[in-house]
Amino acid sequence: MIFAIEKRGAPSKTFAFTATVLSVLVALAVAGLLLLAAGVNPLAAYRDIVVESLGSLYGLSETLVKTTPLLFTGLAVSLAFRMQIWNIGAEGQLYMGACGASYIALFSGIENHLLMITTMFLAAALFGGCWGGVAGFLRARLRVNEVIVTLLMNYIAILWVDYLIYGPWRDPKGFNFPLTAQFSEAARLSEYFDTRLHSGFFLGLLLALLLYVFMERTIWGYEIKVIGSNPAAARYAGMKTGAAIFLVMFLSGAIAGIAGFSEVAGLQNRLQHGISPGYGYTAIIIAWLAKRSAIGVVIVSFLMGVLLVGGDSLQLIWQLPVAFVYAFQGLILFFLLGSDFFVRYRVRFRRKAA
């Protein structure tokens, strides 16, 4: 017997959705086996995850707080993915956005709240956009692989922020900790319900709605899809593919930069070491799970927020390391990639000819 891989025709949405759901269920099952190996009851652990993240106002608010940066970075990555541009640099773009917003908060001297927040927002978008635009320019002009460029630029951005908070921006009253001085009240986003939930979450929802309309209801959104699916046909039709690649990467970086603004202005109120525990990398999983849909990103970001907050119960109740949560994310991506293969291709076994 021999086997052959054959490409399927255009799969139905129902088949693709079913494959995605099954891949997540298989990831849950495999993670359950790992929990059993660690001496943990999987059903009890999954119940604790849900209760910890959704079972109280505090838990729900913390889940939405975690959802916020995932929402921004997920939208950023999914926008680039629409054009078959693989932006792996949302993490670095988030850091650069936080850097731009923090510069305004620390050194602008603006006292008006609305003006301060608006300027921080624009600075974050500009810093993140320029950081993403570098990869877009290199891809459009020199055909440099954007995966390598965006990945390496993550390290530059993270280390640049570390240089600032260990050096010229370090708070002289911070007992030598790597952080800046606290922002003024004018540079802080509003909080709600006596929790840490802030305006950044609602800004993320608004941005998701705008991006959905932009991608699904505008001519330029249609052009992005065409350029991504068939660049040769797009060029033949007169579309400016180089300019579109640069602009999409700039917008993708800008959205990720806004995630940095949301974190420093809404949650931490200062720039400090490790402002992101990997939101930009998790965004890759989110964008893939959401099938590059803006509305799907909202849903998947919330589910990832549940996993991150609920993962605390695995540490506190079951004494498991936080690495297990990240391993769980990796399992989801692994099986998701497998399901995507079987959505696109089928494996046929044939009897070898004599």
pLDDT score, position 333:
77
- pLDDT score at 92: 97
Could you list the residue range(s) of the whole structural domain that residue 241 is in?
60-319
Among the listed residues 253, 252, 245, 251, the one whose alpha carbon sits nearest the alpha carbon of residue 95: 253
Residue 125 within any structural domain of the chain: yes
Asked if residue 353 belongs to a domain, the reply is no
pTM assigned to the model:
0.90
Host H or E run for residue 7:
strand 2-7
Residue 344: inside a domain: no
- Quick check: is 295 in a domain? yes
**CA geometry: angle at 300 spanning 21 and 55, to 5°?**
100
**CA distances to 160, 186, 221, 283, 294 from 279, in Å:** 18, 26, 26, 6, 17
Looking at the domain assignment, is residue 201 inside a domain?
yes
Whether residue 22 lies inside any domain: the answer is no
| CB 67 within 8 Å of CB 201 | yes
pLDDT for 89 equals 96
CATH number of the domain at 184, please: 1.10.3470
The whole-number pLDDT of residue 108 equals: 93
| Weakly modelled stretches of the chain, pLDDT under 50 | none
Residue type at 93? Q
Domains contained in the chain, number: 1
Nearest to 269 by CA among 73, 74, 117, 70: 117
Residue at 28 is within a domain? no
Kindly state whether residue 129 falls inside one of the protein's structural domains: yes
Q: What torsion, rounded to 10 degrees, do the Cα atoms 118, 262, 61, 72 define?
A: 110
The confidence score (pLDDT) of residue 354 equals: 55
pLDDT for residue 102: 97
pLDDT of residue 210: 95
